[in-house]
Amino acid sequence: MVSRTPDAERPDGDAALDAYIDGWKQLNASMRRGEPWSGGERNAAFLNLGSPATRMVDVAPVVGLDAADDGRSAARIDIDFDGDDDLVVTNRTAPRVRVYANRLADGANSIAVRVAGTRSNREGIGAVVYATPVTSVDEASDDLVVPGMTQRRSRTVGAGYLAQSSAWLRFGLPRAAADGGRRARAPRVHLRVRWPGPDGGTIEDFGVVRANRRYVLTEGAGVARESVASARVELEPGSLELKEPLLADGRRRLVLPAATSIPSVEVLARDGRAARLFGITPAGPRGAGQPTVVIVWNSAEPNAVEAIGDVAALVDEARAGDALLVAIDLGTDGSGLSAAGWTGSLLAATQESARLLPELVGWRLDRTEPPPGPWSFVVEADGRLAVVRTGPWRSGDLAADLKLLAVPAPLRPSVSTPYPGVWAEPPGDADLTRLRARLVRIGVDAPVRELDLARVRTTRPDDPDVQVRLGRAMLQQGDLERALGRFDAAIAADETYVLARRARAYTLHLLGRFDEATVEWTLALDLDPSDLETLGNRALAAVAAGDLERARDDLSTLRKSAEGEVGVVEAVERALREAERDSDR
């Protein structure tokens, strides 16, 4: 991102300046991690209520535009050709694009206009179109603007960050009243244009036209030319097929785009002894050595045990998956859970953790206040939070979560969404800065100190990221054997590190060890089957190794899937043609 330099607007005092610069550093770090610039604010859409005084009202919650996405642009376009403007909204965080089909205007009259300049500029940029509904040609007024009736649209360019709305300007018109029991007639519209130019430009009258049509207004023509409308496109939001049922009854399952370190949670055992679960240390997160399910509930609430859901299934699935079960009671008496068959630990929340836990839920669900309990955390063996759930458990829920923990981290978002494709945020570290701000606000000191420790990172020489960076540097120097050793060390530290697998395969290819390179490209594909570039590289390695059958199979897959990877397909086709030509000689 590009931000204003701190020196350009210097606050008074050294302390204020330090805080100002530190704020920019934290904001930039948050942006690099894929967190939103807007701090989780919801989108707004303002309705102009007009005169006597211009008043703006946020109607986004009413019309369904108040998404919590980190929005960048909203471009207007009649995407389904039904005569009204729809919205295409782009976001920095996923989903990267949302299409909002306008259903509020269904059945209303409208008109679409496009301007074409001659003397001013070819696109008519800066032109203002005035549209006034009339019932007949004789009713057309000489006044440019009829108060309460005339609408204006300006031909502009740019609609936010790297976006452009449609060049067609659309006007919504009132439904005409029926006359004597006859079918209502669509209104007519008087069109005029103020073309851009010196001294405010010139006004051109294009006469009265019929509604529910499209017109091109060419500067100097004086007559509106009708344009044939495209056939209407039916947009059906239900066309996505669910891979699994969506949760209901207040239940929600959030798989984090990357497992998150969390501060330690202080709890009390039945004998009154205090202990801490999980936590952040300078050496990394602290876990229990096996997957852990933490249920946060309140025994003082009515039907508290029933709200947890199918306790028996939860216990059985935890035993089958070698997972720990921990229940933290925000109330005073958790004995009812044991009577329901609970076999895990029963702990009480201290005053500090009773304030910390709701903030953890609200932070991860991106809400100011958490939803009603119970809440559940599925924590990895190393102490990192992987899944957040709200509402009751059902049979099969925990088994699905534990199965997810066995999936390599880069693939978790794609396999956890109920829809095909990837709808999760870009993988990256969670924004602990935002969590810290929440905890500072409520005044819990110990977790804040832990989060401060998390900002002090130590890097071990055997860290796989370090090994990959060193290996790449050696590749640039042409030292292939030493680079290969670095990539081997990275894989030894983390067998699921797909970048190390790809780097090792590439190095083997450069060394002419094509059979080994093919195997390594296959292992990289197992970690990320969607990477078409890796598939193309495996095909090239197979060609070099003489395995033309495998290369043909990979090419067939590429042709079906690689719509945007034309270069990869062409490279494999060219290599295959040369290999087949050589084999025929």
212 φψ region: left (φ > 0), alpha (ψ -120 to 50), beta (else):
left
Q: Looking at mean pLDDT, say which of 294-303, 461-470, 476-485 comes out highest.
A: 294-303
Q: For residue range 109-166, list pLDDT tens digits in order.
A: 889 999 999 988 989 999 999 999 988 777 777 888 888 788 999 999 887 788 889 9
Q: How confident is the model at residue 584 (pLDDT cuts 50, 70, 90)?
A: low
Q: Which long-range contacts (CB under 8 A, 24 or more apart) does 375-378 make?
A: 375/295, 375/296, 376/293, 376/294, 376/295, 376/296, 377/293, 377/294, 377/296, 378/291, 378/292, 378/293, 378/402, 378/405
Per-residue confidence (pLDDT) for residue 358, from 0 to 100:
93
Q: Looking at mean pLDDT, say which of 89-93, 135-139, 182-186 comes out highest.
A: 89-93
pTM above 0.75, yes or no: no
Dist CA 30 CA 490 (whole Å): 27
Per-residue confidence (pLDDT) for residue 321, from 0 to 100:
94
Q: How confident is the model at residue 2 (pLDDT cuts 50, 70, 90)?
A: very low
Dist CA 218 CA 168 (whole Å): 13
What is the residue whose two structure tokens read 């945007």?
Answer: 564
Higher pLDDT among residues 454 and 368, named by residue: 368
Per-residue confidence (pLDDT) for residue 278, from 0 to 100:
92
Dist CA 85 CA 195 (whole Å): 23
Per-residue confidence (pLDDT) for residue 41, from 0 to 100:
75
Higher pLDDT among residues 456 and 250, named by residue: 250
Q: For residue range 205-246, list pLDDT tens digits in order.
A: 999 999 989 999 999 999 999 988 778 877 766 544 555 555
**What stretch of H or E contains 97?**
strand 97-100
Dist CA 390 CA 358 (whole Å): 12
What is the residue whose two structure tokens read 């936590």?
Answer: 279
For range 282-291, the mean pLDDT: 85
Per-residue confidence (pLDDT) for residue 126, from 0 to 100:
93
Q: Tally the C-alpha atoms within 13 A of residue 340's C-alpha that lie toward its C-beta.
A: 22
Per-residue confidence (pLDDT) for residue 190, from 0 to 100:
93
Q: Which residues, other chains included, contact 537 with Cβ-Cβ below 8 Å and sequence gap of 6+?
A: 502, 505, 506, 509, 521
Q: How confident is the model at residue 185 (pLDDT cuts 50, 70, 90)?
A: low
Per-residue confidence (pLDDT) for residue 7, from 0 to 100:
47
Mean pLDDT is lowest, of 91-95, 217-221, 436-440, for 91-95
**What stretch of H or E contains 245?**
none
Look at residue 328 and tell me whether its pLDDT is greater than 90: yes
Q: Cα separations (Å) of 306 from 298, 301, 391?
A: 11, 11, 10
Question: By percentage, how much of the chain surpasses pLDDT 70?
Answer: 83
Q: What is the CA radius of gyration of the chain?
A: 31
For range 333-347, the mean pLDDT: 85
Termini Cα distance of the chain: 56
Look at residue 431 and tell me whether its pLDDT is greater than 60: yes
Q: For residue range 392-407, list pLDDT tens digits in order.
A: 999 999 999 999 898 8
CA-nearest of 242, 184, 240, 192 to 212 is 184
Dist CA 168 CA 112 (whole Å): 6
Per-residue confidence (pLDDT) for residue 5, from 0 to 100:
42
Dist CA 304 CA 302 (whole Å): 5
Look at residue 34 and tell me whether its pLDDT is greater than 60: no
Q: For residue range 348-362, list pLDDT tens digits in order.
A: 999 999 999 999 998
Tally Cβ neighbours within 10 Å of residue 564. Answer: 8
Dist CA 163 CA 153 (whole Å): 18
Average pLDDT, the chain: 82
Look at residue 4 and tell me whether its pLDDT is greater than 80: no
Q: For residue range 522-558, list pLDDT tens digits in order.
A: 999 988 888 888 888 999 999 999 998 898 988 888 8
For range 383-396, the mean pLDDT: 92
- Find out whether 409 and 386 touch, Cβ atoms under 8 Å: no
Q: What's CA 135's distance to the chain center, in Å? A: 48
